[in-house]
Amino acid sequence: MKPVDHYIFSSNELFLHHDNTLPSSVPEVFLPSLRVHFPFTLPGASPEKGTEYRAAYLEEPLPLDKGYWVPVRQIFGSEDPELSRYASGAARGLGLVNWRRMNRFCSRCGGEMSEHAEETALECSACGSLVYPRLSPAIIVLVHREGKILLARHAQRSTGVWACIAGYLEHGESLEECVFREVREETGLTVTNIRYTGSQSWPFPDQFMIAFHADWESGEIRVDPRELSEAAWFSPEGLPSIPPAGTVARRLIDEALSYGN
């Protein structure tokens, strides 16, 4: 029998045994709270290794003395290989769990959705309509001006953390147009020299972050209070509280510091 690793989520947390291994089955105590349970493949996992993967979701994060719940965000930011080895499985497993939970019924006819036999898709039992996993692309950008970087506090988050400008891609828009629009809408600034630097799957619930650096071109900061509570230019020596490791925002800020701007 092939080994089976179970990625069991509740809310945005993953269940691990105390020795940081994944369970080989869904523990019996979890069964009453089990909502979805399905096989998935891991990108880049070699088939020779022979491990199979399943993901599951519990309505309640039930306690079990054999293990603990770890926030998926903590796994993404962890430098401990015991945890970081689960980053891609957690990103994919949680994204697929969220997609299934949001698509229990057909948006066309209201019929019940079930697993497609061959593809990673859900199929309506009544009208046959197919739904594939959805990602919501969003840009995130760090704006540079004469050795300083632009950071902002988001209106909807009450934490004191200063982050980058970000927003969802709209229909008909290129990524560069989206960067230009989001910065202008949220801060009143115009930017130029927009350059791609990387991307990250962010399954909360289905974001895909595409990261850029850009240079200030004109304008002075005038925040949109619906989006931001404040925004300001910071020099590398005087940074406020910034997002933790494992976030795209932190990666952008670290890149800016490492080029010495």
Interface residues with Zn ion (CB under 5 A) are 106, 108-109, 111, 124, 126-127, 129
CB of 108 to Zn ion, least distance (A): 5
Backbone angles phi, psi at 54, to 5 degrees: -130, 150
3-state SS track over 118-148: CCCCEEECCCCCEECCCCEEEEEEEEEECCE
CB of 113 to Zn ion, least distance (A): 8
CB of 126 to Zn ion, least distance (A): 5
CA nearest neighbour of 16 among 53, 59, 62, 67:
67
126 or 245: whose CB is closer to Zn ion? 126
List the structure tokens of 129: 């309509």
> Cα dist. 257→60, 237, 260 in Å?
41, 9, 5
Per the listing, tokens 């560069």 go with: 176
Strand order across the 122-124 sheet: 113-115, 122-124, 130-131
Give SS3 for 190: strand
- β partners of residue 112: 105
Give SS3 for 11: coil
131 or 143: whose CB is closer to Zn ion? 131
CB of 40 to Zn ion, least distance (A): 24
CB of 105 to Zn ion, least distance (A): 8
List the structure tokens of 103: 């698509």
HSE toward the beta carbon, residue 21, CA cutoff 13 A: 8
CB of 110 to Zn ion, least distance (A): 7
